[in-house]
Structure 1
Amino acid sequence: MRENKIDVEALRRSLGDWVDPGPERFGLTWPGKAECMRVIQEPSIGTLVPMPDESVDWDTTQNVIIEGENLEVLKLLQKAYYGKVKLIYIDPPYNTGKEFIYPDNFKEGLTDYLRYSGQVDEEGFKLSANAETDGRYHSKWLSMMYPRLFIARNLLRDDGVILVSINDREVHHLRCLLNEIFGEENFYAQFVWNNEGNVDNQSAVKTVHEYVLCYCRSKEAIGPPGVIDPNIEDASKLFRDQVENTLTKNGSKNPESTVTLPVGFPASFESGVIPARDDKWPHLLDDLVIEESALVQPCRVRSGWSSRNLLDLFISNGFVDISDSEGKATRFAVTNTGAIYVYKDRTDTESHVLSVLRNMGTTQQMSRQLASWGIEFDYPKPVYLLQYLCSLFTSPTSADIVLDFFAGAGSLPHGVLLQNVKDGGNRRYLVVQLPEPSGDGDESLASVLRRRMQSVSGQLTAAGVVEPGFRSFRLSSSNFSVWDGTTDTSEDIVSQLALAVQHVIDGAPDESMLVELLLKAGFALTAPVEAVDFAGIAGFAVSDGALLICLARSLTIEAFEAMVATEPAMILVLDAGFGGSDELKVNALQTVRARNQQSGSDIALRVV
């Protein structure tokens, strides 16, 4: 049986018949995988509509919450966020057969989403779980995950990391999927989270763990996390300012050799004599005489050594501290036992991360905290787990972007803010959530997410934390006409051609068009935008004038002269703004070219 159906060819082989399996190769495949590649290549036909009334501190925040179908949103983010995300964390559906997976026939994309979210008036659209009785139970889950992970990889920086929560049901398939997309060589860790789950049940084996798979965009670009596991006791030597270890190390890989310690070699004790010996390691071939914490006569010492090259370098350097391969200041000294010890100063980013995550909170604790804000949600990830994972792979000083496109009730953005509070960081979050039913009355999960982050923002603002707010956006259809490749009647084709002539959708608001053009031009959703005047015509300056956008339907040559005078990198205007005047188009282009020649600038003019 495979996916609840009889595999006839496998049955015949098991009965002794020869069945040619065709070309064989190692890898993961499933029915529908080829369709995934087609879906990945389909361009986005949506846009993001700003929701300032559902936001907090719109003008100043760098955080973003997007309500929408995550595959379409990921496509919209490709240009503006390509290679800019430091950490992706997702908690996707575990494919238990009970939770929501995606709407029926979701490969139709934005059209289905708009029906589902109530943005177009059409009935008959419903949600579906992926029941185990479905003939393609695992395949449907893989087809849902593959394009999202594939596109998400493009958003990661070279030193970016993705973390994916999962349980035993799909962990083996997910591991193969991530190997294919990120490369097996970029596997970093498989964390086991002890979720301290319910053990008062009738299961033969009480499951109290989940997994967090960790892959890198490029493992070579990732250094060790500068974190010590929070379960390590304060008395541990990991918290000492100095690391000390003996150099004595005997074995087949560490053959004996003799080191001559010259006069002046440091000692860790004030004075004394240790006679020559051969009954304990290291062997002393001469008496070891110490005065004023230094050797006063040469002494030959024989043993196997763990860091012979560094010891020789320290001696050659006149006993001045040297740096090891990790850049740690390193020195050596003889102890009162006759051993030679190495001493290293710890760095500020000491790493001691364990693969088993313990005492990171429970879903029950997180549910109670959400309930205190009036939010009912089953099985939320504990915020401290997400805060800890964030601390492993992001920096407090690099304005790292953290992305979650299965945001749920918002434990990831909550954890990002708490980690910023802890270490004074300036991380920002970008999260996406489908407005699926939350189980809390008629409120959607995307609405629950916003409400939670409004509560978190209020608490942190009251505590004096600066700018914990967020900008809200909602996925919708594009403000510009998009060619529908499914049209097959002459009437539909004529309608499509008419849209190509007047391609701005009737009633499209400037605020929504502005966001759409920002993304298409490669600017972030939080890029600063200022309303400006171009010779009496209203427009927008983005990122201190790097991009100028004018959505006026009646442009003038004076407006173009005013725009090029600021020497932006790009000017975006509507084709409708020329009023059908080819003369104005030519003059506008000549104005831009003349400025580029005079000042050596490289202003680009784009007409949409």
Structure 2
Amino acid sequence: MSDIEKIQGITPNLTKENVDKLLTLFPDVATEITDPATGETERAVDFDALRERLGDVAEGNRERYQFTWPGKREAKRLAREPITKTLRPVKERSKNWDTTKNLYIEGDNLDALKLLRKNYAGMVKLIYIDPPYNTGHDFIYHDDFTKSANEIDNGEYNEFQDQLVANPETNGRFHSDWCSMIYSRLSLAKDLLSSDGALFVSIDDNEESNLIKIMDEIFGAKNRIAIICHKSRASVSNDKIISPNHNFVLFYAKNSSILEEKRKSIGLDPILDNFTYDDNDGRGKYRLVPVDGPGGAKKGNPYYEFLGVHGYWRFSEQTMQEKYKNGLIVKSANSLYQKYYRSDAAKSRRTATTWWDDAGLTSSATTQLKKLMGGPSFDTPKPVELIQRMLQLITNDDKQAKILDFFSGSATTAEAVMKMNSMDGGNRQFIMVQLEEYIPQKNDAYLAGYHTICEIGEERIRRAGEKIKSEIEAENAQLTLDGTPKKVPDIGFRVLRVDDSNYEDRRKNVGTYSQDNLDFDVDITKSDRSDLDLLFEALPKFQLPYDVRIDTLSRSEFDGHTVYSVDNGRLLACFEPDIPESLVRTMAAYKPRPSYVLVSERSLPDSAACTNFVEIFKQSADSKTGSTKPYII
């Protein structure tokens, strides 16, 4: 091995990936083109040759069904375009950094999705998003990074140079801008889903029809499972012709055939549970369901009095008496109810419908969140129970699943994941992504001390996690000696922030470094970046997740130098400048033998050090454990 592989601070070029896939299928359509700006030659597709291989195709002005808008081509290009960004760890805002598997990412979700794609592609079981509904009052991402000084002075950008712009109905591209914004993000999100994964998107009337067309195009209409009506409010709005009391939840599978097969083989239909049970009779948790109404009259039951209340009851008088003697009929105010136990619900599985109006799903999420956060109100959070319903549908068979929400808002999804894990002992992991959007100073949340949406989301996760922990500990305290204590789920999270690469722009764009060019390098690491920053930028190269275990090895073992062990020794890394040969030999002799070793440019000052570094690891290889591959970043 004469060269050290160079890790580039750039995400994959998806256009090149697609070209490579085509050329793998049809190698005879390959050609080469030269970039006039750089003079570099790269492989490309000869479309005339491809057309000959495929035969007659639709082209030119032939009429065909399609959904398009001004900016669609740019949205596709933007999704494919590589970026020189990284995820920087923020340990001081994290919780249980060393042990947690949960992630909270601050920054533009388009950038975050590109960064996640490298080491999370095909690994996410469930995605839920609640994007801006484009009501005319929303702020949306404006994916044009050409900023004027006037715009910056007017405060339209935050400190990370992300842009949110108002999208009023007077905008001539009102629907087009929203469609472009959501298209590029959904196309990247699809790559993250596992083969049996699913995506849920909340939306209202403003963009529902457009969103269906976009998702049909990206995921395929055959993978549209359902358009769910979610009863989102119980009150009536008197300022409209008809009161809008529901939103839509678009439910798509990555592959509907796989999801359907799993449903048949292992039963993915959920236990329909609104999570609002009492537990005061010693028989377990229950909820109250009415026993009056038109159902009794349809059955032909007579109109009769029971416990001083007249009505058409769903049961005969004899059955009502038996249920009452067994403590199953309860009178409240001037109505009668039957106790419906959670254990009975577990026995009677039934397929979910497209109408979701259970009490828990229409409860006041704003009130619940306000109580949890101790005072300030927050705008239109989704009910935790709504996302728990989705988790039941998709992850009942996989309690280790990864769940992604890249319009995280107040982090309802994170709380739902932790609650589900507390209920069934699961180890589901959440990945939240939220732009560090500033809160208006007149907002209750700002007056309570929160300055960004991220601060709200992170604090909510902390509080919800501690509440779950205290409830479990109280429950465990009541156990008998032979009882099994309940496990507290993972209530921690690592905070990561989308930022520019840790290296200056003058970094070489080459795949390998050799002794011929190393002498000409200077240290281009930015002065404000830590060892952990450098390590996290390298993780995608080794297909290591951002929740991977990271240990700082004993300095005494490495002559006082700082060496990191990643994934229980799979990767060893040191970012100190001018590392001595003795340290390199100690790393090469480390047991168990690492698969990779990583150093920074400043670690190897010249070509001689580079050559020596490679040779030491080559000599340490043996037939049983193989060799350690060296990398530089």
Please, what TM-score do these two structures have when normalized by structure 1?
0.70
Of the three residues 82, 87, 97, the one matched with 2:136 is 97
Check whether the contact 2:507–2:524 (CA below 8 A) recurs between aligned residues.
Answer: no
Q: Please list the CA deviations of residues 26-51 of structure 1 after superposition, one character each: whole Å capped at 9, or x if unmatched.
A: 22211111111221222222222222
**1:420-445 Cα deviation digits (max 9, x unpaired):** 11211111100011111344226111
Task: Please name the residue that 2:533 is paired with.
Answer: 512
Aligned residues: 457
What corresponds to 1:558 in structure 2?
582
d(CA) in 2 for partners of 1:177 and 1:33?
10
Equivalence for 1:454: 462
Deviation, structure 1 residue 347: 11
Q: CA deviation at 1:200?
A: 3.5
Where does the alignment leave 5 or more consecutive residues of structure 1 unmatched? Answer: 1-20, 235-345, 486-497
Structure 2 contact 271–392 (Cα < 8 Å) conserved: no
The structure that has the greater radius of gyration is 1
AA partner of residue 197 (structure 2): G
* Other structure's SS at 1:526 match: coil
Residues 457 and 349 from structure 1, CA distance in 2 versus in 1: closer, same or farther, beyond 3 angstroms? same
Paired with 1:453 and 1:230, the residues of 2 have a C-alpha distance of 23
Compute the displacement of 1:25 (Å): 2.1
Pick the aligned partner of 1:230 from 273, 284, 292: 273
Give % identity: 32
Aligned to 1:385: 386
Q: Answer whether contact 2:274 2:360 (CA < 8 A) is retained.
A: no
How many angstroms does 1:473 deviate by?
A: 1.7
Does the residue aligned with 1:387 lie in a helix, a strand or coil?
helix
Q: Aligned with 2:563: secondary structure?
A: strand
* Residue 493 (structure 2) aligned to one of 461, 464, 470: 470
Displacement of 1:361 in angstroms is: 3.6
The 1:360/1:407 distance shift into structure 2, 3 A limit, reads farther
Note the 1:151-300 alignment, pairs <5 A.
151-222=188-259, 223-224=262-263, 225-230=268-273
Report matched runs for 1:13-52 at 5 Å.
22-52=61-91
Q: Distance in 2 between matches of 1:569 and 1:189?
A: 45
Cα 1:350–1:153 change in 2 (3 A) is same
Asked if 1:575 is matched to 2:596, the reply is no
> Normalising by the residue count of structure 2, what TM-score does the alignment of the two structures yield?
0.67
SS at match of 1:146: helix
| Match 2:125 to one of 79, 82, 86 | 86
Whichever residue aligns with residue 443 of structure 1, its letter is H
1:137 maps onto 2:177 in alignment: no
Show the counterpart of 1:312: none
1:366-404 Cα offsets, whole Å, 9 max, x none, are 111222213421111011111111111113654111000
For residues 125-172 of structure 1, give each alpha carbon's deviation from its aligned partner in whole angstroms, at most 9, with x where no partner exists: 974221111111111001101111111111111111111111111111
Deviation at 1:77, TM superposition (A): 1.0
Taking a change above 3 Å as real, the CA distance of residues 484 and 380 of structure 1, as seen in their structure-2 partners, is: farther
- Look up the SS of the partner of 2:381 in the other structure: coil
Secondary structure of the corresponding residue to residue 77 of structure 1: helix
The one-letter code matched in structure 2 to 1:478 is S
Contact 2:86 2:115 in 1 (8 A): yes
1:286-328 deviations in Å (ceiling 9; x for gaps)? xxxxxxxxxxxxxxxxxxxxxxxxxxxxxxxxxxxxxxxxxxx
1:602 offset after TM fit, Å? 4.5
Alpha-carbon shift at residue 526 of structure 1 (Å):
1.1
1:525 aligns with 2:546: yes
What's the CA shift for 1:554? 1.8
Which is worse superposed, 88-97 or 470-479? 470-479
1:359 is matched with which residue?
Answer: 358
| 2:316 aligned partner | none
Instruction: State the alpha-carbon separation in 1 of the partners of residues 91 and 436 from structure 2.
Output: 18
The SS at the match of 1:538 is coil
Q: Given residue 558 of structure 1, which amino acid in structure 2 is its aligned partner? A: S
Contact 1:79 1:521 (8 Å CA) reproduced: no
In 2, the alpha carbon distance for the partners of 1:386 and 1:142 equals 24
Deviation digits for residues 46-82 of structure 1, max 9, x if unmatched?
Answer: 2222222212222221111111110011111111211
Distance in 2 between residues matched to 1:535 and 1:451, nearest whole Å: 39
Check if 1:117 corresponds to 2:158.
Answer: yes
Question: Structure 1's 138 and 29: CA in aligned 2 closer, same or farther, altered over 3 A?
Answer: same
Question: 1:599 is paired with a residue of what secondary structure?
Answer: coil
1:316 corresponding residue in structure 2: none
Amino acid corresponding to residue 459 of structure 1 in structure 2: K
> What amino acid does structure 1 have at the position aligned with 2:492?
G
Amino acid in structure 1 at the alignment position of 2:545: A
Opposite residue 576 of structure 2, the aligned amino acid is A
CA deviations on 1:245-290 (whole Å, 9 max, x unpaired) are xxxxxxxxxxxxxxxxxxxxxxxxxxxxxxxxxxxxxxxxxxxxxx
SS in 2 for 1:475: strand
Task: Give the deviation of 1:603 after TM superposition.
Answer: 2.5
Contact 1:360 1:382 in 2 (8 A): no
- 1:71 and 2:99 are equivalent in the alignment: no
Once the two structures are TM-superposed, the CA of residue 229 in structure 1 deviates from its matched residue by 2.8
Secondary structure in 2 matching 1:541: strand
Match for residue 535 of structure 1 among 549, 555, 558: 558
Q: Deviations over 1:329-379 (max 9, x none)?
A: xxxxxxxxxxxxxxxxx9999552111111254677211122221342111
2:468 match: secondary structure: helix
Match of 2:18 in 1: none
Partner of 1:505, secondary structure, is coil
Structure 1 residues 492-507: aligned runs within 5 Å:
501-507=522-528
**In the aligned structure 2, how far is the partner of 1:104 from the partner of 1:398?**
36
Match runs of 1:409-420 below 5 Å: 409-420=410-421
Contact 2:504–2:526 under 8 Å retained in 1 = yes
Query: Partners of 1:92 and 1:218 in 2: how far apart?
Result: 23
Residues of 2 paired with 1:562 and 1:203: CA distance?
74
Instruction: Tell me how far 1:518 sits from its aligned partner.
Output: 2.0
Question: Quick one: structure 1 residues 405 and 554, their matched pair in 2 at CA, closer, same or farther if it must change by over 3 Å?
Answer: same
What's the CA shift for 1:600? 4.9
Between the aligned partners of 2:64 and 2:630, the Cα distance in structure 1 is 50
Q: What one-letter code is carried by the residue in structure 1 that aligns with 2:467?
A: Q
Unaligned runs of 5+ in 2: 1-59, 278-344, 474-487, 509-518
